[in-house]
Amino acid sequence: MNTSFASFGLAPELLRGLDEKGYIEPTPIQREAIPAGLAGRDVVGAAQTGTGKTAAFLLPILQRLKHGRQGTLRALVLVPTRELADQVFHSALSYGKYSRLEAVAVYGGVSLEKQTRALKDRVDIVIATPGRLLDHMGRGHIDCSDIEVLVLDEADRMLDMGFSHDVNRILGVLPIEHQTLLFSATISDQVDRLARRALKDHAAVEVGGRAAAAKGVEHLLVAVDRLQKRHALVRLLGELPERGRALVFTRTKHGADRLTRQLRSDGVRVAALHGGKAQSLRTRALDGFREGRIRTLVATDVAARGIHIDDVVMVVNYDVPVDPEIYVHRVGRTARAGAQGVALTLMSPDEWLLMYDVEKLMGMTFHRDVMPGLEPAVAPLQPLGRHAPARRSGPSLRPRRGGARRR
């Protein structure tokens, strides 16, 4: 079943913020954690960064804070590092852009003064590292007596970094009645003990980790000059099995639009999906793809996060992603639920180094293929230490064994 953010009953101003971010559908963790959070339940979420966990806890909080006394500190998010504090703070600003709520980030390594001033003003949410928060509490800059929601984000890291004592002290000054949302990449014994102490009758939510692609994915690499990518893609799409669908990723919205136009002029039925399109157009594109009327969808990464489509037999990386983690995320769109799928990357010579990063992250080396008639001007380098000749037959969409090797 496909869920939309609107079906959670989120306020229109929050939906507007999400729409501006380009989010189309909730990610798996959001699908499960948001309803529980909105219902006021405690939640333990086993989820890593990259799964969309920040919105999973911030959206229920922002929705709750709309009602009641605004300008009073009612939500506290504890995070292990200042980088994460900053990231969560910026997420709160963008999701809550139209909500008139005030968020303040509080972390060490910078002067107390600016944070103190911000805390004396109107504030609804504080996002803090434990040590600096205690520092401010000790100085009387923060009043926790109205806290309604506590988030423990990346709890495992927080405990690993030795914040257990600090977290306990903070728990001790919160009102007895409050909601707790705990997120952790792993639920270690230590995290479990913390959850037992801090939470009551919680909903447990779990989603798979991200740094592993599904087992049924075959990774194929095709070396091709940038200007030939379009022709290579048309040829590959011509090989799609009946009723099979292909999801093609580009790095930018502009790139997605351009490729969509080019494919149309090459006679391919295709739709584009990215955050720059009006919601109605995105829904139409997604429905057409889901229902099989359109079998090729060109998308940017932000648009593809969280969408669930069965029968995607091929994911094409039209651009090699700059962040190798994105590769894992993209190829996770195929071979879902034990099915087989092909992840095919069109790699131009300027992208060879980016591809090495992907291989390093995955712990695999991929064979470099070329397509007859579309060979790049420069022969592709084989993975370091491997010198398998590129097959001249061109890639096949039929999954085969041995396309990728574990390092």
Binding residues for ligand AMP, per CB under 6 A?
Answer: 23, 26-27, 30, 49-55, 302, 305-306
Nearer to ligand AMP, 207 or 404 (CB): 207
Both tokens assigned to 93: 């600003």
Nearer to ligand AMP, 30 or 365 (CB): 30
Nearer to ligand AMP, 26 or 341 (CB): 26
| CB 349, min distance to ligand AMP, A | 29
Q: In what order do the strands lie in the sheet with 296-299?
A: 270-273, 296-299, 245-249, 312-317, 341-347, 217-223, 368-369
Kind of pairing, strands 149-152 and 203-206?
A: unpaired
**Burial class of 113 by CB neighbour count within 10 A (0 to 12, 13 to 18, 19+):** exposed
| CB 38, min distance to ligand AMP, A | 16
- The SS3 call for residue 307 is coil
Radius of gyration of the chain (CA): 24
CA distance linking residue 49 with residue 47, whole number of Å: 7
Nearer to ligand AMP, 53 or 368 (CB): 53
Nearer to ligand AMP, 301 or 351 (CB): 301
Nearer to ligand AMP, 62 or 221 (CB): 62
Nearer to ligand AMP, 53 or 202 (CB): 53
Contact 183, 53 (CB under 8 A): yes
Name the DSSP class of 256.
H
Name the DSSP class of 80.
S
Nearer to ligand AMP, 154 or 319 (CB): 154
Q: Which of 317, 311, 304 is nearest to 334 (CA)?
A: 311
CA distance linking residue 68 with residue 72, whole number of Å: 9
CA distance linking residue 327 with residue 330, whole number of Å: 5
| CB 119, min distance to ligand AMP, A | 25
Angle at 47 between CA 42 and CA 50, to 5 degrees: 130
Kind of pairing, strands 404-406 and 364-366?
A: antiparallel
State CA 12 to chain mean position distance: 23
| CB 225, min distance to ligand AMP, A | 31
Both tokens assigned to 18: 């999400």
| CB 341, min distance to ligand AMP, A | 21
Nearer to ligand AMP, 136 or 282 (CB): 282
| CB 345, min distance to ligand AMP, A | 21
| CB 174, min distance to ligand AMP, A | 24
Query: Hey, what amino acid is at 71?
Result: G
CA distance linking residue 193 with residue 165, whole number of Å: 13
| CB 30, min distance to ligand AMP, A | 6
Nearer to ligand AMP, 52 or 380 (CB): 52
Q: Which residues contact 211 (CB under 8 A, 6 or more apart)?
A: 48, 325, 328, 361
| CB 53, min distance to ligand AMP, A | 5
Nearer to ligand AMP, 57 or 318 (CB): 57
| CB 306, min distance to ligand AMP, A | 4
- Please give the torsion angle defined by the CA atoms of residues 53, 54, 57 and 62, in that order, rounded to the nearest 10 degrees: -150
| Total Cβ atoms within 10 A of residue 338 | 8
| CB 62, min distance to ligand AMP, A | 14
